[in-house]
């Protein structure tokens, strides 16, 4: 009996997690117990902040299998949380003058 699309996708995602765990160990977060020990001259050091584990790789492959190549449901949820964080950070970083109408703000 042929497999259903859901069964095929589940198998692809299982294999994706297995592949990621085997090949991306150096990219795991520093406090992850599955991250291999650093060996000078042998261990790959991820550059440009590429820190991830099999959860992120699985999510990327899953979105691709669903053909969400643009901002989809997961992206919408992430964008909403980023807006909240960004807004609160800007509120903390921008000084507020005693009288906003009389004091010019610098152009950002």
Q: 20: buried, middle or exposed (CB in 10 Å: 19+, 13-18, 0-12)?
A: buried
Q: Indicate the Cα dihedral angle 43, 30, 20, 41, nearest 10°.
A: 0
* Domain segments of the chain as ranges: 5-69
Contact 58, 14 (CB under 8 A): no
Which of the 8 DSSP states describes residue 37? P
d(CA 25, CA 38): 11
Q: For 45-68, what is each residue's pLDDT tens digit?
A: 777 778 889 999 999 999 899 887
Determine if the pTM surpasses 0.75: no
Contacting residues for 34 by C-beta, under 8 A, at least 6 apart = 21, 25, 28, 53
Dump pLDDT digits (tens) for 66-107: 887 777 766 777 676 666 555 555 555 555 556 656 655 555
State the pLDDT at residue 102.
60
């Amino acid at each position: 009996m042929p497999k259903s699309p859901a069964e095929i996708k589940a198998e692809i995602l299982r294999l994706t997690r297995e592949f990621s765990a085997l090949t991306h160990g150096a990219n795991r977060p520093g406090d992850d117990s599955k991250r291999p020990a650093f060996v000078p001259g042998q261990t790959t050091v991820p550059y440009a902040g590429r820190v991830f584990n099999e959860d992120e790789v699985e999510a990327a492959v899953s979105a691709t299998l669903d053909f969400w190549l643009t901002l989809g449901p997961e992206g919408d949820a992430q964008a909403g949380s980023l807006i909240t964080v960004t807004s609160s950070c800007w509120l903390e970083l921008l000084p507020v003058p005693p009288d906003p109408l009389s004091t010019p703000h610098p152009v950002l």
